């Protein structure tokens, strides 16, 4: 039906049903604050379970019983695991991932993102000439041309050093069957035109979006990051606790771009040097009550992701789909820009509702 607004609306309706049907479940977590000999800062270890394995604390009675049991126990390190892992460079932008990242990092709507990307693609006056700064912005391909690979390699070697360029050029193949490969991924037309060099010629929105695209593309051409992991297992009576962290040993592509959520970004917190058999003193145990949460309502970024995953629409239609269902008042933005069904659009019978909406659209 036209640009498949009806299918997008059904996705929003189905999520609203999930939220309405959701029944919260209680659970508890425990954190032990541990003093380490010779260390100024205490170590925080999280309750894990027993020797049989992990288990969830379901209610306050269980939590109180475990806390009471831990009061007089000796806390001893039973295992220290160290390791390293590599984190690969991210894929360059497609239309949908650009819209999602611009929403998360720049707080742009899908419509605003595409409007600014169009300006960067059509050309911006740099000096006396109009220059197209990015490749075509409606694409679901992650392919990069040989010329762009070569230009990126030269820039990375010159500005960051050979350790920041991978042993073999990063080549990405997206595992979707319906990808149309007529266009490359979204990338800067000229990798050596850095955001800072173009800042005098761009307005603030253009600069921010170009910087996002440039950094994403350049990072996609760089070497992987190396991250050290450390996990400490602690036993107290019948119970086990764990403490752990990650530390970046070589930043690689992270020097330019980190697409992880804030809470997922690598921590630099130091874990003290502990060995198997070491004793630690428990200062306190902090229980905390939680309730499971319903799935969140879609925002523009997550709805674009859902449309792509379901094979609904094309790169050129994502922004239009989301704009239409809002301008026609089928959905409205609420807290944190979440898309909520408008009052009169609440679904009673989804087949009947969508059929009626399709007739209106047609």
Determine which helix (DSSP H) or strand (DSSP E) holds 8, and give its type and residue range.
helix 5-21
* Ordered DSSP codes for 92-150: PB-HHHHHHHIIIII---HHHHHHHHHHHHH-EEETTEEE--B--S--------HHHHH
Are 336 and 297 a contacting pair, CB within 8 Å?
no
Q: Give the list of residues 6+ apart from residue 345 with CB closer than 8 angstroms, or none.
A: 9, 329, 330, 331, 353
Rounded to whole angstroms, the Cα distance separating 345 from 5 reads 14
Place of tokens 């991250």: 227
Task: Look up 344 and say whether it is catalytic.
Answer: no
Give whole-number Cα distances, 348 to 17, 18, 51, 193, 360, in Å.
10, 14, 50, 54, 18
Catalytic-role residue among 27, 48, 136, 201: 136
Cβ neighbours of residue 176 closer than 8 Å, sequence gap 6 or more: 140
By CB atoms closer than 10 A (0-12, 13-18, 19+), residue 245 is: middle
Of 77, 81, 46, 44, the C-alpha closest to 228 is 81
| DSSP secondary structure string for all residues of 23-58 | ---EEEEEEEEEE-TT-SS-EEEEEEEETTEE--B-
Q: Which of the 8 DSSP states describes residue 273?
A: -
Q: How far apart are CA 128 and CA 261, in angstroms?
A: 40
* Rg of the chain (C-alpha set): 26
Single out the residue of 344, 319, 321, 342 nearest to residue 332, CA to CA: 342
Please give the positions annotated as active site. Answer: 136
């Amino acid at each position: 039906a036209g640009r498949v607004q009806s299918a997008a609306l059904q996705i929003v309706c189905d999520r609203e049903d999930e939220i309405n049907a959701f029944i919260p479940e209680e659970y508890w977590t425990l954190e032990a604050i541990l003093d380490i000999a010779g260390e100024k800062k205490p170590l925080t270890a999280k309750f894990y379970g027993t020797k049989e394995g992990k288990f969830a604390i379901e209610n306050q009675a269980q939590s109180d019983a475990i806390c009471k049991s831990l009061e007089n126990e000796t806390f001893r390190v039973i295992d220290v695991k160290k390791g390293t892992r590599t984190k690969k460079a991210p894929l360059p932008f497609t239309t949908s991932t650009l819209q999602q990242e611009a929403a998360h990092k720049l707080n742009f709507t899908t419509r605003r993102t595409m409007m600014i990307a169009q300006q960067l693609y059509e050309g911006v006056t740099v000096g006396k000439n109009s220059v197209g700064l990015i490749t075509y912005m409606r694409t679901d391909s992650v392919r990069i041309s040989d010329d762009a690979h070569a230009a990126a390699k030269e820039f990375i070697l010159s500005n960051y050093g050979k350790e920041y360029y991978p042993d073999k050029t990063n080549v990405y193949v997206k595992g979707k069957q319906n990808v149309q490969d007529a266009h490359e991924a979204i990338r800067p037309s000229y990798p050596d035109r850095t955001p800072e060099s173009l800042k005098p010629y761009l307005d603030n929105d253009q600069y921010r979006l170009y910087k996002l695209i440039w950094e994403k593309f350049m990072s996609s051409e760089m070497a992987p990051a190396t991250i050290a992991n450390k996990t400490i297992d602690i036993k107290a009576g019948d119970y086990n606790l764990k403490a752990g962290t990650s530390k970046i040993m070589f930043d690689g592509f992270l020097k330019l771009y980190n697409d992880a959520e804030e809470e997922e970004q690598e921590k630099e917190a130091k874990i003290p040097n502990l060995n198997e058999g070491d004793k630690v003193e428990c200062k306190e145990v902090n229980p905390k009550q939680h309730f499971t949460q319903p799935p969140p309502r879609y925002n523009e970024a997550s709805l674009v992701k859902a449309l792509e995953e379901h094979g609904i629409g094309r790169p050129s239609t994502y922004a239009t789909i989301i704009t239409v269902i809002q301008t026609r008042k089928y959905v409205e933005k609420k807290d944190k820009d979440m898309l909520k069904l408008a009052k009169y659009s609440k679904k009673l019978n989804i087949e009947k509702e969508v059929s009626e909406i399709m007739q209106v659209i047609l």
